[in-house]
Amino acid sequence: MKKKLSVNYSETCKTRITAIKDTMEILSGKWKFHILGTLLETDRMRFMDLLREVEGIGSKMLSKELQDMEINQLVTRTVQQTKPITVVYEITEYGKTLGPIIDEIAKWGISYRNSLHSPQDRETA
């Protein structure tokens, strides 16, 4: 009997890998988690406020990332007929379903920072 070249990989695994790919494609780029993290905290923000809040981003990137996320129904864009026109972005209910992911990522990042100070935490699990 010939040795199998590919590891026996169950359907469940393939589905899981596809799911990971899907999610990461939607959340690709340097800024989406950052923007979403901000919007999850504040609910609604204007363009210029996001520009100031998301440290380091430029208007081109912010605009592009917001458009991407609007297409994927993660955020909504609403033009307000105020004196100088303002636009508010808010996270959708659907976007809020990303909350648990963002929470886990933030949680891990925090414990990562702590482990930098006491690296043995990382070695013992």
54, 61, 69, 86 from 91: Cα distances, Å: 15, 18, 9, 17
Of 52 and 77, the one with the shorter C-beta distance to its own copies is 52
* Backbone φ, ψ for residue 62 (5° rounding): -60, -45
C-beta atoms surrounding 61 within 10 Å: 16
- Least spacing, CB of residue 27 vs its own copies, in Å: 9
C-beta atoms surrounding 37 within 10 Å: 17
Residues near DNA, by CB under 7 A:
28-31, 46-49, 56-61, 63-64, 66-67, 77, 83-88
Check if the beta carbon of residue 50 is closer than 8 Å to that of residue 41: no
Of 44 and 64, the one with the shorter C-beta distance to its own copies is 44
Of 51 and 102, the one with the shorter C-beta distance to DNA is 51
HSE, side-chain direction, 13 A CA sphere, residue 94:
8
Among 59, 67, 78, 111, binds its own copies (CB under 8 A): 111
Q: Which does 63 bind (CB under 5 to 8 A by kind): DNA, its own copies, none?
A: DNA
Among 3, 83, 113, 117, binds its own copies (CB under 8 A): 113
Residue matched to tokens 């589905």:
15
Q: Which does 17 bind (CB under 5 to 8 A by kind): DNA, its own copies, none?
A: its own copies
The CA distance from 63 to 5, in Å, is: 46
Of 83 and 123, the one with the shorter C-beta distance to its own copies is 123
